């Protein structure tokens, strides 16, 4: 009972803080963000101490080396967190932007104006830097934020949180503006997900299990940050040299992220010319290939792909490969097996390029470029809270703008409806 009560108060505080946050000037918000960056660097020792505790626990629980690599905080990583906060300070303030304004024949003057969403809850399993990024982005966009990180990084999160909270307090921003859920109890998530009178949106970032659980339990609108099963389709009219460079980049440059390629589709007419060289390059880089029967015939060393492989986000040096009959089969494969994140076609055919971008139902569709560009910075939108794989509210990179909603302000002079 006690635990539930605490979360209710916490959410209530967050809701109470939102009106004050919504009215903060850009000047104050930016000053706090720069101070936060300073404070992170000043408190480096404390933060690394907290992180060491998490690392000790993780090792004693025999969590994998990839996990530990994501968890560990170094001088450099803390510097990156600080840089990220400074960058957020330098982005334009989305709050108050007039998206559109027009006058009606009766003289009503309608303004569609960007405003904060209110209270954002973020449930994440990711690296501790997410804590700082989310606090920075929510402050700048004028939202209260409730953070529920993974229990494995709790001590790191607490030390980052305390450092940043202190900077907000110094400017008189109420505590409710940023709240960290510190209970390790997983049922805390379920409690939060029912507090729709206080929380306006939930952003889950993590594995399939977490996302499905949130969708089932939540009574609050959810913006999913789900997996990226990204495809590149090498068309019959592709420049095969370009295809090889782009596919290699999309798989190998950083395989552990959601915009890396997981499946390569190749038109049957270019498969024999394209696949052997491409496979050789991949294998030299340590990429394990899993192919359809035709791929396996062309590339002898390729192991057969199962249907499940085509649904899998490897986040690793593994790649599913399939030879397709034509453009349509490629599009159908992507819309069926993909996660509607980022998909590309390599082609010199104008017609096929347009067909592909029109018919592939993904947040980002590319012609002749690597899927790795799906990223707030790469798009020129600035820092992001993640990549939405949802269709409502926002798709793709979710940055400051996407952390706002709008309201209509209507200025009249006594108009009544007739």
The DSSP output letter for 194 is T
* Number of residues near a copy of itself (by CB under 8 A): 69
The alpha carbon of 115 is separated from its chain's Cα centroid by a whole number of angstroms, namely 21
For a copy of itself, the closer CB: 153 or 312:
312
For a copy of itself, the closer CB: 72 or 110:
110
| Binds a copy of itself (CB under 8 A): choice among 92, 276, 304, 412 | 412
Site for a copy of itself in 358-397 (CB under 8 A): 358-359, 361-370, 372-374, 378-380, 390-393, 395-396
Q: Is 121 helix (H, G, I), strand (E, B) or coil?
A: strand
How many C-beta atoms surround the C-beta of residue 414 within 10 A?
Answer: 5
Q: Is residue 417 within the footprint of a copy of itself (CB under 8 A)?
A: yes
> Binding segment for a copy of itself among 36-44, 158-166, 306-314, 356-364 (CB under 8 A)?
356-364
Q: Is residue 329 within the footprint of a copy of itself (CB under 8 A)?
A: no
| Binds a copy of itself (CB under 8 A): choice among 9, 74, 253, 306 | 253
Contact at 8 Å (CB) between 363 and 334? no
**What tokens were used for 238?**
């592709």
From residue 90, give the alpha-carbon distance in Å to each of 26, 85, 256, 297, 382. 10, 9, 29, 54, 9
Site for a copy of itself in 288-317 (CB under 8 A): none
Cα gap 300→318, rounded to integer Å: 16
| Binds a copy of itself (CB under 8 A): choice among 215, 240, 294, 315 | 215
Cα gap 139→94, rounded to integer Å: 11
Q: How far apart are the first and last CA of the chain?
A: 54
How many C-beta atoms surround the C-beta of residue 135 within 10 A?
Answer: 27
| Binds a copy of itself (CB under 8 A): choice among 246, 385, 398, 400 | 246
For a copy of itself, the closer CB: 140 or 251:
251
> Binding segment for a copy of itself among 26-34, 66-74, 107-115, 267-275 (CB under 8 A)?
107-115
**What tokens were used for 272?**
């024999």
Beta carbon of residue 111, minimum distance to a copy of itself (angstroms, whole number): 8
What value, to the nearest 5°, has the Cα angle with vertex 282 and ends 233 and 326?
20
Closest CA to 400 of 13, 218, 59, 142: 142
Beta carbon of residue 310, minimum distance to a copy of itself (angstroms, whole number): 16
The DSSP output letter for 93 is P
Closest CA to 400 of 378, 383, 388: 383
Overall size of the chain counted in residues: 418
For a copy of itself, the closer CB: 50 or 116:
116
The DSSP output letter for 385 is S
Site for a copy of itself in 182-211 (CB under 8 A): 196, 200-201
| Binds a copy of itself (CB under 8 A): choice among 216, 284, 307, 336 | 216
Q: Is residue 19 within the footprint of a copy of itself (CB under 8 A)?
A: yes
**What tokens were used for 412?**
């009249």
> Binding segment for a copy of itself among 19-27, 33-41, 125-133, 284-292 (CB under 8 A)?
19-27
- 157-166 residues labelled b (16+ CB within 10 A) or e (exposed): bbbbbebbbe
For a copy of itself, the closer CB: 59 or 407:
407
For a copy of itself, the closer CB: 161 or 356:
356
Contact at 8 Å (CB) between 162 and 146? no
Q: Is residue 102 within the footprint of a copy of itself (CB under 8 A)?
A: yes
- Per residue, what are the HEC states of 251-303? HHCCCCCCCCEEEEEEEHHHHHHHHHHHHHHHHHCCCEEEECHHHHHHCCCCE
Site for a copy of itself in 254-293 (CB under 8 A): 254
Beta carbon of residue 81, minimum distance to a copy of itself (angstroms, whole number): 22
For a copy of itself, the closer CB: 294 or 369:
369
Contacts with a copy of itself, residue ranges (CB under 8 A): 19, 22-23, 102, 104, 108, 110, 115, 117-118, 196, 200-201, 215-216, 219, 221-223, 239, 242, 245-246, 248-250, 253-254, 335, 353, 357-359, 361-370, 372-374, 378-380, 390-393, 395-396, 405-418
């Amino acid at each position: 009972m006690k635990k539930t009560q605490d979360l209710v108060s916490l959410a209530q505080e967050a809701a109470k803080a939102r009106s004050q946050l919504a009215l903060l000037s850009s000047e104050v918000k930016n000053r706090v963000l720069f101070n936060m960056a300073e404070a992170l660097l000043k408190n480096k020792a404390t933060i690394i101490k907290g992180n060491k505790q998490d690392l000790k626990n993780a090792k004693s629980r025999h969590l994998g080396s990839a996990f530990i690599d994501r968890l560990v905080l170094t001088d450099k990583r803390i510097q990156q967190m600080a840089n990220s906060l400074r960058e957020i300070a330098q982005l334009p303030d989305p709050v108050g932007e007039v998206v559109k304004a027009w006058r009606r024949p009766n003289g009503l003057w309608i303004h569609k104006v960007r405003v904060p969403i209110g209270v954002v809850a973020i449930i994440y399993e990711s690296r501790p830097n997410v804590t700082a990024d989310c606090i920075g982005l929510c402050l700048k966009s004028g939202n209260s934020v409730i953070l529920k990180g993974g229990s494995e990084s709790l001590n790191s999160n607490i030390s980052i949180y305390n450092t940043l909270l202190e900077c907000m307090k110094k400017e008189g921003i109420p505590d409710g503006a940023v709240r960290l859920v510190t209970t390790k109890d997983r049922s805390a998530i379920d409690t939060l997900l029912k507090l729709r009178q206080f929380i306006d949106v939930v952003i889950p970032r993590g594995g399939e299990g977490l996302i499905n659980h949130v969708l089932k339990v939540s009574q609050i609108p959810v913006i999913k940050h789900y997996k990226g099963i990204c495809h590149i389709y090498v068309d019959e009219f592709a420049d095969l040299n370009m295809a090889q460079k782009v596919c290699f980049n999309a798989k190998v440059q950083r395989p552990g992220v959601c915009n890396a390629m997981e499946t390569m589709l190749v038109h049957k007419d270019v498969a024999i010319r394209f696949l052997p060289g491409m496979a050789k390059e991949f294998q030299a880089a340590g990429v394990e290939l899993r192919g359809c029967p035709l791929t396996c015939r062309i590339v002898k060393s390729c192991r057969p792909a199962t249907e499940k492989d085509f649904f899998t986000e490897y986040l690793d040096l593994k790649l599913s490969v399939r030879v397709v009959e034509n453009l349509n089969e490629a599009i159908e494969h992507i819309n069926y097996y993909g996660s509607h994140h980022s998909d590309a076609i390599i082609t010199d055919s104008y017609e096929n390029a347009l067909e592909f971008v029109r018919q592939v139902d993904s947040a980002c569709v590319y012609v002749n470029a690597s899927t790795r560009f799906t990223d707030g910075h790469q798009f020129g939108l600035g820092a992001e809270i993640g990549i939405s794989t949802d269709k409502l509210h926002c798709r793709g990179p979710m940055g400051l703008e996407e952390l706002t909603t709008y309201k209509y302000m209507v200025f009249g002079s006594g108009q009544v409806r007739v």
